[in-house]
Amino acid sequence: MPTRTRPSLRHALSTPENKHTYVRRLFSVIAPRYDLITVLLSYGQDRRWKRRLVSMARIQPGMPALDLACGTGDIAFGLAAAGARVTGLDITTGMLHLARRRPEAAYLHLRLVAGDMTALPFPDASFPLVTMGYGLRNVPDLPGALAEIHRVLAPGGQMLSLDFNRPRNRAVRSVYLAYLTLVGSALGVILHRDPDTYRYIPESIRRYPGAEAVCTLAGAAGFTQCRWGRVLGGLMAIHSCNKAGELDGAAGQRPGTA
């Protein structure tokens, strides 16, 4: 019988449908190693960046917050520690299982939900704050995800997002992607016997529009005052985008801006 070959990584990301299937399978595989990998690929800075994002929110006690692509819960638990009532959503049940087992779960309550960022299971205008870490780059339909985030965000609310950037400078981008490809391939072989496992990251960055273009897409989805701050010299970015209107009540006080 002929041997069945696995589709190439580029083929796996070639359409939204293919990417949806691939990302869901990939994150199920890497969930137990996810925290280790984010530390290694961020030079140990990942949690500091996430704390920076949480500090930008200026949480009011009891304020509802939604953390998308919550993974094992770094940002979600940070928001809860600051006093927010947090719902964390992730498409990977393995990630949610790990979040529930964290020591913080014993004293910080989170509502954890399995779901898709492009079809959020929440009513309109449910949250004055929506956050995510490494979420937008991984969705198969970025404009659709931004539209869904805008829908569930309360008037006057804010979206905060941490992610890799796609540097505009071609030389910087080439070196950056070559580094991630080399390191990702090595880690994939060591941890999973598959070089493509973490080679997904540079491949996804190649297809990502970059921080400035995300602001443009966010504007098209209805956001106002979208801006981004450089992290790690611009290799990473934190976006801050607002929804027009005014928040109601003390629990919905406008989060901070970038």
Residues 221 and 124 in one domain: yes
pTM of the model: 0.90
More confident residue, 48 or 195: 48
Q: Is pLDDT above 90 for 240? A: yes
Q: What is the 3-state secondary structure (H, E, C) of the chain?
A: CCCCCCCCHHHHCCCHHHHHHHHHHHHHHHHHHHHHHHHHHCCCCHHHHHHHHHHCCCCCCCCEEEEECCCCCHHHHHHHHCCCEEEEEECCHHHHHHHHCCHHHHCCCEEEEECECCECCCCCCCEEEEEEECCHHHCCCHHHHHHHHHHHEEEEEEEEEEEECCCCCHHHHHHHHHHHHHHHHHHHHHHHCCCHHHHHHHHHHHHCCCHHHHHHHHHHCCEEEEEEEEEHHHCEEEEEEEECCCCCCHHHCCCCCC
Q: Are 22 and 28 in contact (CB under 8 A)?
A: no
Together in a domain, 202 and 214: no
Name the residue among 168, 128, 161 with its Cα closest to residue 145. 161
In a domain, residue 35? The reply is yes
Are the beta carbons of 177 and 200 closer than 8 angstroms?
Answer: no
pLDDT at 44 over 80: yes
Q: Is 27 exposed, middle or buried (0-12, 13-18, 19+ CB in 10 A)?
A: buried
Cα–Cα distance measured from residue 34 to residue 70, given in angstroms and rounded to the nearest whole number: 12
Do residue 151 and residue 39 come from a single domain?
A: yes
- Residue 51 belongs to a domain: yes
Residue 80 resides in a domain:
yes
Same domain, 25 and 90: yes
* Domain enclosing residue 192, as ranges: 167-207
Residue 11 lies in a domain: no
Question: CATH no. for residue 90?
Answer: 3.40.50.150
Vertex 135 angle, CA 121 and 69, to 5°:
50
Mean pLDDT of 45-56: 95
Whether 173 and 51 share a structural domain: no
Contact 192, 30 (CB under 8 A): yes
In this structure, the answer to whether residues 194 and 141 fall within a common structural domain is no
Q: Is residue 65 part of a domain?
A: yes
What is the reported pLDDT for 141?
A: 95
**φ, ψ of residue 155 in degrees (nearest 5):** -55, 135
Q: Which of 178-182, 191-195, 209-213 has the lowest mean pLDDT?
A: 191-195
Q: Are residues 95 and 25 in the same domain?
A: yes
What is the domain count for the chain? Answer: 2
Question: Look-up: residue for tokens 């006690």?
Answer: 61
Q: Are residues 146 and 229 in the same domain?
A: yes
pLDDT at residue 255 is higher than 80: no
Q: Is 86's pLDDT higher than 90?
A: yes
34-37 long-range Cβ contacts below 8 angstroms, 24+ apart: 34/71, 34/72, 34/95, 34/98, 35/72, 35/74, 37/187, 37/191, 37/198
Tell me how far apart the alpha carbons of residues 82 and 58 are, in angstroms, rounded to a whole number.
8
Are residues 104 and 183 both part of a single domain? no
Q: Percentage of residues in the chain with pLDDT exceeding 90?
A: 66
pLDDT band at 90 (very low <50, low <70, confident <90, very high): very high
Q: Does residue 173 fall inside a structural domain?
A: yes
pLDDT at 7 over 70: no
Same domain as 172, residue 151: no
Considering the domain boundaries, does residue 5 fall inside one? no
In a domain, 118, yes or no: yes
Give the residue-averaged pLDDT of 240-255. 70
Say yes or no: 60 and 111 in one domain: yes
One domain for residues 200 and 95? no
